[in-house]
Chain A
Amino acid sequence: MNIEHKVIEIIAEQAVLEVSDVSESSTLVDLGIDSLGLVESIFAIEEEFDITIPFNANEPDKSDFDISNVKAIITGIKILIAEQQN
């Protein structure tokens, strides 16, 4: 299963939506994911890909991890996976 699809699946589950309702341009706000849903999504993504996402819930905007939309999240995850493999 590719990374894009798995991330969308995790986010869709958090948002209680069908996978088809989540697109790469969706923002977390669009999907109705609140702050608790966000930390739970990050946990699920870390578990799935065995990576550590540099995300501080106190200052989401200042984190090194871009969560502005689904595409940005997927890009960030790919970078982390690549870094880990090196």
Chain B
Amino acid sequence: MHRVVITGAGSINPLGHDVISTMEAMREGRCGIGPLKFQDVERLSIQIGGQVHGLKVEELFSRQQLSLYDRFTQFTLIAAREAIEQSGLEFSNELADKSGVILGTAGGGITTSDQNYRMVYEEGKNRVHPFVVPKLMNNAAASHVSMEFNLKGPSFTVATACASSNHAMAQAFQMVRTGLAPIMMTGGSESMLCLGGVKAWEGLRVMSKDACRPFSANRNGMVQGEGAGVFVFEDYECARSRGAEILCEVVGFGMSSDASDIVTPSKNGAARAMQGALLDARLNGDEVGYINAHGTGTAVNDKTECAAVADVFGQHVNKLMISSTKSMHGHLIGGTGAVELIACIMALRNGEIAPTIGYEEPDPECPLDVVPNEARQAHVQVVLSNAFAFGGMNAVLALRKI
């Protein structure tokens, strides 16, 4: 078994266009959620979201690239470029042949689907651009990362709704740990802030019209976000031998399936995923200092998650910090675990715990230290990152300071 470390991180999300600005926003408890801006937004009853603004794509990509890249692929490549630059890696020969990319997304190129459905059904056009399929397919982002960085090893895309990124990173971790690949690019991306993408969520009636307030008694639902997070997972010996800067160690993961309900989460499924991560990492519960919660801000998720954490950690729950950064960047669906991993790295490397902002009223059903409203300085050695998806598919990662 090989030890696995993170040697590069990149992101673009509603809080910033790179990791440094994202961490700064998390440290300041800044909110990236605001009024949505896109065509026909006035037809929605939900008009807020964590949108990425000020992106000048024509400065980052050529015209040919833009004709092939949906927004979720653009986000992915921006994040991947940052991660690769930090890692200092170049892939050639055997390293290229063995290294790969595993990414998560739930909707893939949903904006491309939306735009083209609109043209065909609403505007009555009978011809669509020839690249609709290569643009909208869920593996497009992973494919373009493989092409841009010459990654020729195991590469694919994982779709488990809101747990996609965590499942993807767990797979990448497993590949490096078992020696199948020396280096894996991994993370996830989502871009479904368009009429169809938000309209579908609206239908479920779980969305908030004003703010995402996880764990707060007056919470009234989730808020969508968009963006990507991409990381370099590398064999520890490989990273050490080339003198790479190590951000933290990935020590384990747990996965479970509720096998009960297509949308309602289960305490047991969530608890088994966290227990699985502890077991896999050979950790005692009391070594964990911080949990980046799934914390969607819906009534049922937050109380179920808190109950599961209490079950897993027993008395230690009083010493645990657990926060939901979705309060700041919104729910990035298939990309959310990847952006939230930045809060985990910030906790381990900088000793700074990102807050749960928008916290207004304690909820007796969420009686945990949710790091309300302000970031906190704390030394933590081990953190967990939770993701509990619709469909009852759960994935939890365990990371350690190095």
Give the interface of A toward B (CB within 8 A): 16, 36-37, 39-40, 42-43, 46-47, 52
In the complex formed, the residue of A with least CB distance to B130 is A39
Is residue B43 contacting chain A, with contact meaning CB distance below 8 A?
no
Contacts of B131 in A (CB 8 A): 36, 40
Contacts of B63 in A (CB 8 A): 16
Contact B127 A43 (CB under 8 A): yes
Contacts of B127 in A (CB 8 A): 43, 46-47, 52
9 A-B pairs in the complex with CB atoms less than 8 angstroms apart: A16-B64, A36-B131, A37-B64, A40-B67, A42-B130, A43-B127, A43-B130, A46-B127, A52-B127
Contacts of A40 in B (CB 8 A): 67, 129-131
Contact B129 A43 (CB under 8 A): yes
Contacts of A16 in B (CB 8 A): 63-64
Q: A40-B130, A46-B127 are in contact. List 12 more A-B contacts (CB 8 A).
A: A16-B63, A16-B64, A36-B130, A36-B131, A37-B64, A40-B67, A40-B131, A43-B127, A43-B129, A43-B130, A47-B127, A52-B127
CA distance A20 to B64 in the complex (A): 20
In the complex formed, the residue of B with least CB distance to A40 is B130
Give the interface of B toward A (CB within 8 A): 63-64, 67, 127, 129-131
Contacts of B67 in A (CB 8 A): 40
Number of A-B residue pairs, CB cutoff 8 Å, is 17
Nearest Cβ in chain A — how far from B65, in angstroms? 12
Contacts of A43 in B (CB 8 A): 127, 129-130
CA distance A39 to B64 in the complex (A): 13
CA distance A43 to B125 in the complex (A): 13
Q: Which 7 A-B pairs have the closest CB atoms?
A: A39-B130, A43-B130, A40-B130, A43-B129, A46-B127, A40-B67, A47-B127
In the complex formed, the residue of A with least CB distance to B62 is A16
Contacts of B64 in A (CB 8 A): 16, 37
In the complex formed, the residue of A with least CB distance to B68 is A36
Contacts of A39 in B (CB 8 A): 130
Nearest Cβ in chain B — how far from A62, in angstroms? 19
Nearest Cβ in chain A — how far from B112, in angstroms? 15
CA distance A46 to B131 in the complex (A): 15
CA distance A2 to B67 in the complex (A): 27
CA distance A31 to B63 in the complex (A): 17
Interface centre among B64, B127, B129, B130 (most CB of A within 10 A): B130
Nearest Cβ in chain A — how far from B209, in angstroms? 40
In the complex formed, the residue of B with least CB distance to A42 is B130
Nearest Cβ in chain A — how far from B27, in angstroms? 43
Nearest Cβ in chain A — how far from B58, in angstroms? 14
Contacts of B129 in A (CB 8 A): 40, 43
In the complex formed, the residue of A with least CB distance to B129 is A43
Contacts of A42 in B (CB 8 A): 130
Contacts of A52 in B (CB 8 A): 127
Contacts of A47 in B (CB 8 A): 127
CA distance A72 to B67 in the complex (A): 26
CA distance A47 to B129 in the complex (A): 10
CA distance A45 to B127 in the complex (A): 12
Nearest Cβ in chain A — how far from B42, in angstroms? 29
Nearest Cβ in chain B — how far from A63, in angstroms? 15
Nearest Cβ in chain A — how far from B174, in angstroms? 34
CA distance A40 to B63 in the complex (A): 12
Nearest Cβ in chain B — how far from A39, in angstroms? 4
Nearest Cβ in chain B — how far from A10, in angstroms? 13
CA distance A47 to B125 in the complex (A): 10
Interface centre among A16, A40, A47 (most CB of B within 10 A): A40
CA distance A52 to B127 in the complex (A): 9
